[in-house]
Amino acid sequence: MVSVPEDRRADDSARPPAGSDRREFLGRAVGACLGAGAVAGGLFHGGPAAAQEADGEKAGRLIVRTLRPVNLESAPATLDSFLTPNDEFFIRSHHGAPTVNAETWEISVEGLVDRPLKWSIKDLEAMEPTTRSGVLQCAGNGRANFSPKVPGLLWQRGAVGQAEWAGIQLGRLLEEAGVKPEAAHVHFIGGDVPPTPKTPAFVRSIPIDRARHDDTLIALKMNGEPLPVLHGGPARIVVPGWAANNWSKWIRKLVVSTEEAPGVYMQSGYRIPRTPVPPGVDPDPKDLVPVTWMNVKSLITSPGLDAQLKRGPIEIRGVAWTGEGHVVKVEVSTGAGPDAEWREAELEDEPRQGSWRRFKLAWEPPAPGEYVLRARATDSEGQVQPETSPWNKSGYLWNGYDQVACRVS
Amino acid sequence: MKFPIAAALIAVVLVLAGLGAWWMMVPEVVEAPAEPREPEAVAVADRTEEEDVAHRDLMAKKALEASCLVCHEMRMITGLRLTPAQWTAEVDKMVNWGAVVSEGDRRLIADYLARTQPVDAPPPAPELIALASVESPEIPPGDEDPIEGDAAEGEKLYMTLCSACHGPTGMGGELGPSLANRAIIGHTAAYNEIVQKGLRRMPPFGEVLKPQQQRDILVWLRGLPRDAVAAAL
């Protein structure tokens, strides 16, 4: 077991009440085990939620956060492959998806350009496509783990996925329009309409250098299919290595500017202090920077939370990714406490900026009982996944050790 | 004027019916709420403290449903576990973003949520769903089913009956959410049902608008510029 403070050991919820539903108990046990993290950083898995996640893994379905607008989380078991199927891929919507007619959809560029231009989807399809894999992760993935708790959708482990994105390099479109030398940012304006005129539109921007980078695309396809509407179709931004707040959906207009995009979603949302500040302390606004590069992170996809395993050889599997660079190592611990042994897992897939790598490790449980499996990744920049992430008031970029409790009989 | 008298009369009736329906809704919306009161102050002779709490819960839930569900569903709220200060800040944020909540209801809602969804309560069990089984007017249909209608007629009707709440350009207003470019206008059946039966603050228009007039409005809505947000910025 992970070290558990006395008051939590005494918690009745960690004891198997005679005759109670085993699943429910295990769910609570998971909560209690993970609750140990509350000392250092806090985890927020309740019993029923944990049990439900396990069900989702078996059924290969999505976890409902909200249906209006549509916010769905992937079940970790469905993230077990190199590419995540489109209909099992998490969905994040700030405002509802707009009506889409790909026949008449146009994307324009204006602002600090020599030639304001407009392209139809057909125009873009006629250009030479770039195809690449890339991890898309919500900036708030794992928000549920922060303690004290923060407002915002309580994503747990599955607001992440990897797809093969195909589209046109954004830099190429900007080049066609002729970017003026003083340009510093590109604003992304989508077709999604806020519910009231007082509600801010979801408008974002990225610096011009990132917009011109070879990796940055306007994607028209996801895993070989036309980009589904709920994933931003017919056209979304792809910024491999950067968190999903930069991957704007339903792109209608690009505005080249000297300034970052105005508005709540760029100027106060999706910002994080450069140096962490404790809860209750307001960070210096000048120290708040946009969430861009993801941090190094791993996810155990099998066994699932609350899995009931038979003794014998077990394969622990998962995926690991980072922002800048690529994952070079994933270690897995099946033991308890700070002295637990960490073993290096076997990494699959080519190391590539912005893509994840699968990992696996053979494990033979020495005895029946309850185990907590933990994973931590290291990237080519030397970042190591920490046990818990520094708290921030919006709950961004959680990358504490991934943990899965299971029972071996 | 081409408008025949009969049509003019119908229009007048429509306006009156619309206004009547709207007026009937008004008290629920703008009625001055009870002053924020301390529990002691609320306790009256014929009510126990428990009944007072139950009454305030009921009022808070009504206010929540009327104000918050215009833009999102309850899970956006029920999924959260926050401190009283955080709940107050969330409610204030939503008011700044266009939620119509009176000063008194703000406190009622924040107090209710702080009490029923405190920071240390376990999270609700999330539901699971297969994407293919999600039938929601939030999800734009692959193809809008073509409908026949007169957009000019639809515009007139919209301006008379709908624009007060949904805004003259369909971008939403104080009482009704935006419709321009929204997925709902691609779902004819869901649109018809809401127009005919009403929804939350919206009165039913089934007796007010003929089926063809409902289609006319929908045709006009579908013809609105598709880059509404870009145009509004």
Residues B112 and B156 in one domain: no
The alpha carbon dihedral of B190, B193, B199, B204 has a sign of positive
How many distinct structural domains can be found in chain B? 2
User: Does a structural domain hold residue B18?
Assistant: no
What is the per-residue pLDDT for B172?
A: 94
Q: Tell me, yes or no, if B226 comes closer than 8 A to chain A by beta carbon.
A: yes
State whether the Cα torsion B207-B208-B213-B215 is positive or negative. Answer: negative
Measured distance CA(A292)–CA(A329) in Å, rounded: 23
Nearest to B181 among A66, A73, A98 (CB): A98
B155 and B203 fall within a common domain: yes
A100 contacts B71? CB cut-off 8 A? no
Peptide bond into A303 cis (omega under 30): yes
| DSSP 3-state of B66 | helix
Neighbouring CB atoms inside 10 A of A133's CB total 18
pLDDT in tens, chain A (409 residues): 333 333 333 333 333 333 333 333 333 333 333 333 222 222 323 334 444 444 444 454 899 999 999 999 999 999 999 999 999 999 999 999 998 888 889 999 999 999 999 999 999 999 999 999 999 999 999 999 999 999 999 999 999 999 999 999 999 999 999 999 999 999 999 999 999 999 999 999 999 999 999 999 999 999 999 999 999 999 999 999 999 999 999 999 999 999 999 999 999 999 999 999 999 898 998 899 999 999 999 999 999 999 999 999 999 999 999 999 999 999 999 988 778 899 999 999 999 999 999 999 999 999 999 999 999 999 999 999 999 999 999 999 999 999 999 999 9
- Residue burial A371-389, b: 16+ Cβ < 10 Å; e: rest: bbbbbbbbbeeebebeebb
Q: How many CA atoms lie within 13 A of A55 on its CB side?
A: 18
CB neighbours (10 Å) of residue A44? 22
Mean pLDDT value of segment B227-232: 71
C-alpha distance from A121 to closest chain B C-alpha (Å): 14
Give yes or no: residues B94 and B159 share one domain: no
A234 upstream amide cis, omega within 30 of 0: yes
- CA-nearest residue to A90 within chain B is B131
- Cross-strand bridge partners of residue A205: A187
| Nearest CA-CA distance, residue A188 and chain B, Å | 10
CB contact under 8 A, B71 and A46: no
CA distance A56 to A79: 12
pLDDT at position B1, please?
Answer: 41
Task: Mark which of B116, B143, B161 sits at the end of a domain.
Answer: B116
CATH assignment at residue B192 = 1.10.760.10
Identify whether B123 is part of a domain: no
B78 touches chain A (CB under 8 A): no
Mean of all residue pLDDT scores within chain B: 84
What pLDDT, on a 0 to 100 scale, did the predictor assign at position A103?
86
Q: Which domain holds residue B194?
A: 151-232
Does any domain span residue B202? yes
Quick check: is B176 in a domain?
yes
Identity of the residue in A46, A198, A252 whose CB atom sits nearest the CB atom of B122? A46
CB-closest option in B122, B136, B139 to A47? B122
Q: Is residue B194 part of a domain?
A: yes
Contact A381, A40 (CB under 8 A): no
In a domain, B42, yes or no: no
Q: Which of A160, A118, A152 is nearest to A301 (CA)?
A: A160
Which spans in A136-216 are helix H? Answer: 170-177, 208-212
Give the H or E element holding residue A253: strand A251-257
User: Is B34 inside a domain boundary?
Assistant: no
Alpha-carbon distances, residue A247 vs A22, A99, A134, A202, A235 (angstroms): 42, 19, 11, 11, 10
**pLDDT confidence of residue B162:** 97
Place of tokens 């120290």: A287
Q: Which residues of B touch A65 (CB under 8 A)?
A: 75, 79, 126
From start to end of A100-235, where are the E strands? 106-111, 117-120, 130-137, 160-169, 185-190, 203-207, 217-222, 225-226
| Structure-model confidence comparison of residues B203 and B10, the more confident one | B203
Do B169 and B223 reside in the same domain of the chain? yes
Q: Give me the DSSP letters along A14-50.
A: GS--TTS-HHHHHHHHHHHHHHTHHHHT-----HHHH
Shortest Cα distance, chain B CAs vs residue A367, angstroms: 32
Distance CA A395, CA A271 (A): 10
Confidence at residue B229, expressed as pLDDT on a 0 to 100 scale: 73
A32 vs B184: which has the higher pLDDT: B184
d(CA B220, CA B153): 8
Tokens, residue B128: 């699971």
Residue corresponding to tokens 């576990």: B81
* Nearest chain A Cα distance for residue B6, angstroms: 36
The answer to whether the Cβ–Cβ distance between B119 and A149 falls below 8 Å is yes
CB pair distance less than 8 Å for A99 and B222 = yes
Specify whether B156 is located in the same domain as B216.
yes
Interface predicted TM-score (ipTM) over 0.85? no
**For a pLDDT cut of 90, what percent of chain B falls above it?**
62
User: What pLDDT, in 10s, does the model give residues B25-72?
Assistant: 443 444 444 454 444 445 556 788 889 999 999 999 999 999 999 999
The answer to whether residue B72 neighbours chain A at the CB level (below 8 Å) is: yes
Residues in contact with B56: Cβ distance below 8 Å, sequence separation at least 6, in sequence order: B42, B108, B111, B112
pLDDT of residue B45: 63
**Two tokens, residue A109:** 């560029």
Calculate how close chain B gets to A402, using CA atoms only, in Å: 19
Task: Tell whether B175 is covered by a domain.
Answer: yes
Evaluate whether A155 touches A260 at the Cβ level (below 8 Å).
no
Q: Do B132 and A87 touch (CB under 8 A)?
A: yes
CA distances from B39 to A91, B103, B111, B116 (A): 42, 17, 11, 16
Distance between CA atoms of A247 and A360, rounded to whole angstroms? 30
Look at residues A231, A66, A44 and name the one whose alpha carbon lies nearest to residue A156. Answer: A44
Q: Is the pLDDT of residue B159 over 50?
A: yes
Partner-chain contact A66 B80, CB within 8 Å: no
